[in-house]
């Protein structure tokens, strides 16, 4: 929105009115306090107290003021009440306007999103997912019913909606029909099942990851339409067992998941206009010798683990690689349309990570 030369925008005018109102209120309080100190000989605190109950019309009696004090109180009532009412009104108006402005900007930003992710619930699982998505430079919207958790997400600069993700209206507001994936990570398995059902109905093609706390709920969320059911307790137990039985493999996998690790595993989707289309793995391996081709998933769903050197990359393929972070970044750049690399985004979760390309 633009404004004519010499015309101040509404937000600046509103701030100026607020400043003037606060100054006027301060003048009234100071004048009233000083007046009662002089006319009644009261202490500063008692004079301030009586000024406040006067201009707010609370009126706990006249405190036995003298005749000259009553005259002064009359003048204070006439000017003070109007000033206090105006000042308090401006404060409320600014607070409400700022809240509406934030919500409007947030809704506008969400409406522009396509191919984003929706995170339902900001518990330990939801926070971990958001951290990884932010580190990968992905865009996401948080839905959180808990006010304190919602405020933390909002203060972090994330796009967030306050309410229950079981409501279709809130899912639609989060852009469920345009989203690439949704994570159902609220504390209740029953709610996660409801969210899964709603998400699948609103967007039949979306990738749905549902968290469950009980193994018995896994088949339920899968029947409800979830693409994957994740039980953090089972996964944690499996990782602990791997550390005990296969410590070196566990360390390798831990490093591959860490954003700052030298060795990473990456999933690279090949676009139809990519420079990689038609290229053999052996030929690209000569360009990037540090890369190891772990698996190749064809567009038809066929997956080959440890593909042969003569395997040719085709449009729509997904290549799983392990190796140097920068090498993975360069391959991802060639695999995407236009060769654009994604960079890190949201703070404070990605503090210090900006400028690194995504390897997840």
The answer to whether residue 352 is domain-embedded is no
- Res. 243: pLDDT tops 60: yes
Per mean pLDDT, which of 24-33, 35-44, 65-74, 116-125 is the most reliable? 116-125
In a shared domain, residues 87 and 55: yes
Distance CA 132, CA 134 (A): 5
The answer to whether residues 71 and 121 belong to one domain is: no
The residue from 46, 74, 109 where one domain ends is 109
| Mean local confidence (pLDDT), 129-156 | 88
Provide the residue count of the chain. 360
Q: Are residues 136 and 84 both part of a single domain?
A: no
- Give the mean pLDDT of 313-330: 87
CATH number of the structural domain spanning residue 97: 1.10.287.70
**E strand segments, 102-158:** 117-120, 140-144
Of 1-5, 11-15, 126-130, 241-245, the least confident: 1-5
DSSP string over 151-172: HHHHHTT-EEEES-TTSHHHHH
Bigger pLDDT: 30 or 104? 30
**Helix extents (H) in 41-173:** 44-55, 67-111, 124-135, 147-155, 168-173
Q: CATH number, domain at 124? A: 3.40.50.720
Within-domain flag for 350: no
Instruction: Please give the mean pLDDT across all residues of the chain.
Output: 79
Q: What is the pTM of this model?
A: 0.57
| End-of-domain residue from the set 62, 89, 109 | 109
Question: What's the average model confidence in pLDDT over 17-44?
Answer: 82
Q: Are residues 100 and 128 in the same domain?
A: no
Q: Is residue 141 part of a domain?
A: yes
Domain final residue, candidates 56, 76, 109: 109
Question: Both 177 and 99 in a single domain?
Answer: no
Does residue 220 share a domain with residue 120?
A: yes
Same domain, 89 and 60: yes
Peptide bond into 348 cis (omega under 30): yes
Residue 10: pLDDT over 60: no
| Per-residue model confidence (pLDDT) at position 226 | 93
* Band of pLDDT at residue 194, cut at 50, 70 and 90: very high
Q: What is residue 35's predicted lDDT score, i.e. its pLDDT?
A: 84
Number of domains in the chain: 3
Do 130 and 195 belong together in one domain?
Answer: yes
Beta bridge partners of 208: 182
d(CA 151, CA 129): 18
What pLDDT is stored for residue 98 in this prediction?
63
Q: What is the CATH number of the domain that holds 329?
A: 3.30.70.1450
- Reduced to 3 states (helix: H, G, I; strand: E, B; else coil), residue 98 is helix
Tens digit of pLDDT for each residue in 59-97? Answer: 656 566 677 766 777 777 667 777 777 777 777 766 666
Question: Is 26 among the domain residues?
Answer: yes
Q: Residue 36 is part of which domain span?
A: 10-109
β-strands 181-184, 207-211 pairing: parallel
Kindly state the average pLDDT of the residues 259-278: 79
Q: State whether 79 and 121 are in the same domain.
A: no
Percent of the chain predicted with pLDDT > 70:
76
Do 102 and 207 share a structural domain? no
Residue 174 lies in a domain: yes
pLDDT at 282 over 70: yes
Tens digit of pLDDT for each residue in 177-192? 999 999 999 989 999 9
Task: Specify the higher pLDDT residue, 236 or 291.
Answer: 291
| Distance in angstroms (rounded) separating the CA atoms of residues 178 and 240 | 38
Answer whether residue 177 is part of any domain: yes
The sign of the CA dihedral 173, 177, 178, 179 is: positive
Residue 98 and residue 61 share a domain: yes
114, two tokens: 């396509």
Residues 127 and 82 in one domain: no
Residue 360 predicted with pLDDT over 50 = no
Q: How many CB atoms lie within 10 A of CB 114?
A: 11
Q: So what's the pLDDT on residue 343?
A: 33
**Does residue 2 form part of some domain?**
no
Position 158 in a domain: yes
CA torsion through residues 125, 127, 131, 133, sign: positive
User: Which tens digit of pLDDT belongs to each residue from 34-52?
Assistant: 888 888 888 888 888 888 7
User: Is the pLDDT confidence value at 176 over 90?
Assistant: yes
């Amino acid at each position: 929105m633009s404004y004519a030369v010499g015309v101040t925008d509404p937000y600046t005018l509103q701030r100026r009115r607020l400043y003037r109102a606060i100054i006027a209120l301060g003048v009234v309080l100071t004048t009233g306090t000083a007046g009662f100190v002089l006319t009644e000989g009261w202490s500063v605190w008692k004079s301030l107290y009586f000024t406040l109950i006067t201009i707010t019309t609370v009126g706990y009696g006249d405190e036995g003021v003298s005749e000259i004090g009553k005259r002064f109180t009359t003048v204070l009532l006439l000017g003070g009440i109007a000033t206090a009412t105006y000042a308090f009104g401006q404060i409320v108006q600014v607070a409400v306007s700022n809240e509406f402005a934030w919500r409007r900007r947030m809704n506008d930003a969400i409406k522009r999103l396509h191919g984003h992710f929706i995170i339902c619930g900001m518990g330990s699982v939801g926070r971990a997912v958001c951290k990884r998505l932010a580190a990968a430079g992905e865009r996401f919207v948080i839905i959180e019913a808990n006010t304190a958790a919602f405020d933390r997400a909002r203060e972090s600069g994330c796009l967030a909606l306050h309410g229950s993700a079981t409501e279709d209206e809130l899912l639609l507001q989060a852009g469920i029909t345009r989203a690439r994936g949704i994570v159902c990570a609220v504390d209740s398995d029953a709610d996660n099942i409801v969210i899964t059902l709603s998400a699948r109905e609103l967007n039949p093609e979306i990738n749905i990851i549902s968290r469950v706390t009980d193994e018995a709920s896994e088949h339920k969320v899968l029947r409800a339409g979830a693409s994957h059911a994740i039980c953090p307790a089972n996964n944690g137990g499996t990782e602990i067992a791997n550390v005990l039985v296969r410590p070196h493999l566990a360390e390798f996998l831990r490093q591959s998941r860490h954003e700052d690790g030298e060795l990473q595993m990456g999933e690279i989707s090949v676009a139809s206009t990519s420079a990689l289309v038609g290229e053999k793995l052996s030929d690209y391996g000569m360009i990037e010798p540090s890369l190891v081709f772990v698996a190749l998933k064809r567009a038809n769903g066929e997956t080959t683990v440890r593909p042969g050197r003569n395997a040719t990359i085709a449009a729509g393929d997904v290549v799983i690689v392990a190796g140097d972070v920068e090498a993975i970044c360069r391959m991802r750049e060639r695999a995407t349309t236009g060769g654009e690399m994604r960079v890190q985004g949201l703070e404070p979760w990605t503090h210090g990570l900006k400028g690194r390309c995504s390897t997840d």
